[in-house]
């Protein structure tokens, strides 16, 4: 059975990746009346607030005017038949700012319709990559934008290296043993928040290897039966979270204080909503996060995270 996808997943976006190779088609789409532009200013997305927040997509004359001010348009694909483009207007004076407010997507993501959240996350991830890859990492020459904004090619004729948008995989895992699961507190977590363990995958590692290494590094626990659950795009700034359940070999653990502030085993009983302390001294991650879903699934609540749409 197909389980529900996590917030920011982009199943409803037809990326139409083969069209990116056709420069003329890209120009034609961007100048068509159907085009929608997703403006980004310093990693922030444009949202209209008041009541429930809504993503602002620019179209028509306004859209094209703002797109002309941006350095380039990045083809995201089609949503409900309309072509969408991300445009980075950081540091530029445009009329877009009169249409809403630029906010960090994580502040409003859980309140947006799922489809809008996906488009905004995708646009944010792409513009972030472009801003950090203006120069070739091989020879240092300037790179130019090609393939609808999905490649930056080195302009040095002797080099011509193509650079692709990067997504850094991170594993996130709920460690459990019998009727208990292990939740930790990162050093920068808000007071009271406890979550699953997580960490970046290193070169030469499988996801399962990374799960075992990260758990051992953080709490000195050996795990077995590492099973994949689901994944979540996390372009804050450039990750995808790959979620697992992993069984601890024993309840013994030792927190590595260089990595975590604390960790503790919690029983299913302790995690029942009615047993949660009301003073904020313990709470779980937000409902739109894969961390929360991994915990809820282990508790036996199969439903995906609650989000609009």
CA distance 196 to 176: 10
The least distance separating Zn ion from the CB of residue 150, rounded to whole angstroms, comes to 18
Give the residue from 70, 59, 68, 62 showing the smallest Cα distance to 32.
59
- Quick one: CA dihedral 199, 205, 206, 210, positive or negative? negative
- CB burial of residue 101 (10 Å; 0-12, 13-18, 19+): middle
- Would you count residue 152 as binding Zn ion (CB under 5 A)? no
Question: Is 143 or 195 the residue whose CB approaches Zn ion more closely?
Answer: 143
Give the residue from 245, 180, 258 showing the smallest Cα distance to 219.
258
Query: Which residue, chain included where needed, has tokens 């088609």?
Result: 25
Per CB under 5 A, which region of 5-13, 72-80, 84-92, 134-142 contacts Zn ion? 134-142
- Would you count residue 154 as binding Zn ion (CB under 5 A)? yes
The least distance separating Zn ion from the CB of residue 164, rounded to whole angstroms, comes to 14
Q: Go through 163-178 and write b for each residue having 16 or more CB atoms within 10 A of its CB, e for each that does not.
A: bebeeeebbbbbbbbe
The least distance separating Zn ion from the CB of residue 159, rounded to whole angstroms, comes to 3
Select from 119, 136, 174, 223 the one that contacts Zn ion (CB under 5 A).
136
Select from 111, 151, 159, 238 the one that contacts Zn ion (CB under 5 A).
159
CA distance 171 to 135: 30
**Per-residue binding letters, 205-234, with Zn ion (x by CB under 5 A):** ------------------------------
> Phi/psi at 55 (nearest 5 deg)?
-70, 145
Per CB under 5 A, which region of 154-162, 163-171, 236-244, 279-287 contacts Zn ion? 154-162
The least distance separating Zn ion from the CB of residue 125, rounded to whole angstroms, comes to 23
- Would you count residue 139 as binding Zn ion (CB under 5 A)? yes
- Would you count residue 263 as binding Zn ion (CB under 5 A)? no
Select from 156, 165, 169, 213 the one that contacts Zn ion (CB under 5 A).
156
Cα maximum dimension of the chain: 66
Residue 263 β-bridge partners:
184
Q: Go through 72-90 and write b for each residue having 16 or more CB atoms within 10 A of its CB, e for each that does not.
A: bbbbbbbbeeebbbbbbbe
Per CB under 5 A, which region of 18-26, 155-163, 234-242, 275-283 contacts Zn ion? 155-163
Question: Is 139 or 251 the residue whose CB approaches Zn ion more closely?
Answer: 139
Give the residue from 63, 64, 73, 84 showing the smallest Cα distance to 16.
84
- Would you count residue 155 as binding Zn ion (CB under 5 A)? no
The least distance separating Zn ion from the CB of residue 168, rounded to whole angstroms, comes to 22
- Would you count residue 299 as binding Zn ion (CB under 5 A)? no
Interacting residues toward Zn ion by CB under 5 A: 136, 138-139, 141, 154, 156, 159, 161
């Amino acid at each position: 059975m197909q389980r529900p996808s996590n917030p920011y997943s982009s199943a409803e976006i037809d990326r139409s990746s083969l069209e990116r190779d056709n420069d003329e088609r890209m120009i034609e789409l961007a100048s068509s009346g159907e085009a929608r532009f997703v403006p980004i200013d310093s990693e922030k997305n444009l949202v209209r607030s008041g009541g429930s927040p809504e993503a602002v997509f620019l179209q028509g004359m306004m859209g094209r005017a703002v797109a002309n001010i941006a350095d380039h348009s990045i083809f995201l694909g089609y949503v409900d038949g309309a072509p969408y483009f991300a445009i980075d207007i950081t540091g530029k004076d445009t009329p877009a700012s009169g249409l809403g407010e630029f906010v960090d997507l994580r502040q409003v993501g859980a309140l947006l319709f799922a489809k809008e959240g996906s488009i905004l996350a995708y646009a944010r991830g792409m513009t972030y990559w472009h801003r950090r890859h203006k120069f070739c990492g091989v020879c240092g020459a300037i790179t130019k934008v090609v393939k609808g904004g999905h490649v930056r090619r080195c302009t040095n004729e002797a080099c011509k290296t193509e650079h692709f948008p990067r997504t850094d995989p991170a594993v996130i895992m709920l460690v459990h043993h019998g009727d208990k699961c292990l939740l930790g507190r990162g050093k920068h977590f808000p007071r009271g928040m406890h979550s699953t363990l997580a960490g970046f995958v290193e070169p030469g590692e499988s996801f399962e290897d990374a799960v075992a290494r990260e758990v051992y590094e953080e709490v000195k626990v050996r795990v077995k039966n590492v099973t994949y659950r689901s994944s979540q795009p996390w372009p804050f700034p450039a990750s995808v979270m790959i979620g697992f359940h992993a069984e601890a070999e024993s309840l013994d653990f030792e927190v590595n204080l260089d990595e975590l502030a604390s960790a503790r085993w919690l029983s299913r009983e302790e995690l029942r909503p009615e047993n949660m302390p009301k003073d904020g001294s313990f709470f779980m991650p937000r409902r739109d996060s894969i961390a929360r879903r991994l915990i809820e699934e282990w508790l036996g609540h199969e439903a995906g995270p609650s989000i609009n749409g």
